[in-house]
Amino acid sequence: MSDRARPVLVVANRLPVSKSPQGWVPSAGGLVTALRPVVEDGGGAWIGWDDDHEGVPAQVDGLACTLRGLRLSGAEVQGYYHGFANRTLWPLLHDLVVTPIIEARWWAVYRDVNERFAQAVDDELDADDEQTMVWVHDYHLMLVPAMLRRRRPRTRIGFFLHVPFPPPELFARLPWRGALLDGLLAADAIGVHTERYRDNLLRTIAHLVADVEVVGDRIRTADGHEVEIVVGPISIDATGFAALATDPETEAELQDLRTQFGDRRVLLGVDRLDYTKGIPNRLEAIEQLLTEHPEHVGRIAFVQIAVPSRDDVREYRELRQQVETEVGRINGRFTHPGSDVPVHYLYRGISRPALAAYYRLADVMCVTPLKDGMNLVAKEFVTVQHAADAGGVLLLSEFCGAALELGGDAVRCNPFDVNGMSTMMDHALALPPADRRERLARMARRIHDHDVFAWVDGQLEALRGRR
Least distance in angstroms from the C-beta of 351 to ligand ADQ: 7
Q: What is d(CA 412, CA 372) in angstroms, rounded to the nearest whole number?
A: 14
Contacts of 348 (CB under 8 A, 6+ apart): 305, 306, 307, 308
Alpha helices by DSSP H, listed for 60-135, are 74-76, 90-93, 104-124
Q: Which of 308, 381, 298 is nearest to 335 (CA)?
A: 298
Known catalytic residue: 137?
A: no
Examine residue 374 and tell whether it contacts ligand ADQ (CB under 6 A): yes
Least distance in angstroms from the C-beta of 385 to ligand ADQ: 14
The region that residue 69 occupies, defined by phi over 0 for left and psi between -120 and 50 for alpha, beta otherwise, is beta
111-119, 313-321, 369-377, 390-398 -> range binding ligand ADQ (CB under 6 A): 369-377
Least distance in angstroms from the C-beta of 91 to ligand ADQ: 12
Known catalytic residue: 162?
A: yes
Examine residue 373 and tell whether it contacts ligand ADQ (CB under 6 A): yes
Written as one letter, the residue type at 292 is: E
Least distance in angstroms from the C-beta of 283 to ligand ADQ: 17
**Do 396 and 406 meet the contact criterion of CB atoms below 8 Å apart?**
yes
Give the residue, chosen from 149, 162, 282, 448, that forms a contact with ligand ADQ under the rule CB under 6 A.
162
Q: What is d(CA 294, CA 158) in angstroms, rounded to the nearest whole number?
A: 53
What is the SS3 assignment for 355?
helix
DSSP strands (E only) in 98-243? 133-137, 157-160, 189-192, 213-215, 218-220, 226-231
Least distance in angstroms from the C-beta of 164 to ligand ADQ: 8
Least distance in angstroms from the C-beta of 62 to ligand ADQ: 19
Least distance in angstroms from the C-beta of 235 to ligand ADQ: 9
Examine residue 403 and tell whether it contacts ligand ADQ (CB under 6 A): no
Say if strands 393-397 and 300-307 run parallel, antiparallel, or are unpaired: unpaired
Contacts of 80 (CB under 8 A, 6+ apart): 72, 106, 109, 110, 112, 113, 114, 140
Q: Which of residues 174-213 bind ligand ADQ (CB under 6 A)?
A: none
Q: Identify the helix (H) or strand (E) that includes residue 26.
A: strand 23-26
Q: Between 83 and 232, whose beta carbon lies closer to ligand ADQ?
A: 232
Give the residue, chosen from 228, 237, 372, 451, that forms a contact with ligand ADQ under the rule CB under 6 A.
372
Q: What is d(CA 97, CA 148) in angstroms, rounded to the nearest whole number?
A: 32
Tell me how far apart the 2 most distant CA atoms of the chain are, in Å: 74
Q: Between 334 and 345, whose beta carbon lies closer to ligand ADQ?
A: 345
Q: Which of 422, 428, 351 is nearest to 395 (CA)?
A: 428
Site string for ligand ADQ, 28-47 (x = CB under 6 A): --x-----------------
Q: What is d(CA 139, CA 84) in angstroms, rounded to the nearest whole number?
A: 10
Q: Between 283 and 305, whose beta carbon lies closer to ligand ADQ?
A: 305
Examine residue 253 and tell whether it contacts ligand ADQ (CB under 6 A): no
Q: Between 208 and 346, whose beta carbon lies closer to ligand ADQ?
A: 346
Examine residue 163 and tell whether it contacts ligand ADQ (CB under 6 A): yes
Q: Which of residues 339-358 bind ligand ADQ (CB under 6 A)?
A: 349-350, 355
**Do 132 and 8 meet the contact criterion of CB atoms below 8 Å apart?**
yes
Examine residue 307 and tell whether it contacts ligand ADQ (CB under 6 A): yes
Catalytic residue of the set 372, 409, 448, 450: 372
Catalytic residue of the set 162, 193, 296, 386: 162
Q: Between 380 and 409, whose beta carbon lies closer to ligand ADQ?
A: 380
What is the SS3 assignment for 59?
coil
Site string for ligand ADQ, 258-277 (x = CB under 6 A): ------------xxx-----
2-10, 181-189, 248-256, 373-381 -> range binding ligand ADQ (CB under 6 A): 373-381
DSSP strands (E only) in 193-313? 213-215, 218-220, 226-231, 265-272, 300-307
283-291, 316-324, 374-382, 452-460 -> range binding ligand ADQ (CB under 6 A): 374-382
Within 10 angstroms of residue 109's Cβ, the number of other Cβ atoms is: 21
Least distance in angstroms from the C-beta of 355 to ligand ADQ: 5
Written as one letter, the residue type at 418 is: V
Examine residue 380 and tell whether it contacts ligand ADQ (CB under 6 A): yes
C-alpha of 417 from chain center: 24
Number of residues that bind ligand ADQ (CB under 6 A): 19
Q: Which of residues 222-241 bind ligand ADQ (CB under 6 A)?
A: 234
The region that residue 424 occupies, defined by phi over 0 for left and psi between -120 and 50 for alpha, beta otherwise, is alpha
Examine residue 377 and tell whether it contacts ligand ADQ (CB under 6 A): yes
Q: Between 184 and 377, whose beta carbon lies closer to ligand ADQ?
A: 377
13-21, 33-41, 318-326, 367-375 -> range binding ligand ADQ (CB under 6 A): 367-375
Q: Which residues are catalytic?
A: 162, 372
Binding site for ligand ADQ (CB under 6 A): 30, 162-163, 234, 270-272, 305, 307, 349-350, 355, 372-377, 380
